[in-house]
Amino acid sequence: MFFISSAFAQSAGAGEPNPMVTLFMFAGLFVFMYFLIIRPQRKRQKEHTDLIGALGKGDEVVMTSGMLGKITKLEGDYVVLEVTNNLELKFQKAAVHAVLPKGTIKAI
């Protein structure tokens, strides 16, 4: 029982694999990766691009660093935030994480 010849054990499943099965496996893996990783990431990226495009003067925003501020100026790819009285900081628009409802900063 323990002395099965190695030639017999190797020849048991020695048929050629079907290339169509391999092709379908790769296609299935790609579809799986597309719906679980690529598509949601593109959706988030599009939402962020739309958010940046809709920024306007007076919007209250949260930056990716967690800083809160009110937009006082838009200068190309940059926004100028008033974070406290007479303190303005300049950030890239891409660093804006979310737009807050009006009056949120005063309520905090």
Q: Mind listing the pLDDT tens digit of every residue in the chain (108 residues)?
A: 555 555 555 555 556 778 899 899 999 999 999 999 999 999 999 999 999 999 999 999 999 999 999 999 999 999 999 999 999 999 999 999 999 999 998 888
Whether pTM > 0.75 for this model: the answer is no
Tell me, what's the pLDDT at 18? 85
Contact yes or no for 59/50 (Cβ under 8 A): no
How many whole angstroms separate alpha carbon 75 and alpha carbon 92? 9
pLDDT at 3: 59
* Cα angle: 32, vertex 34, 37; to 5 degrees: 95
Residue 79, number of CB atoms within 10 A of its CB? 25
pLDDT at 23: 94
- Residue 90 · residue 80 · CB < 8 Å: yes
Q: Which pLDDT score, from 0 to 100, does residue 92 have?
A: 96
Residue 11: the pLDDT is 53
Q: Which of 33, 41, 27, 91 is nearest to 61 (CA)?
A: 91
Q: What is the CATH number of domain 56-107?
A: 2.30.30.30
Q: What is the DSSP letter of 101?
A: P
Q: Residue 81 and residue 100: Cα distance in Å, rounded?
A: 13
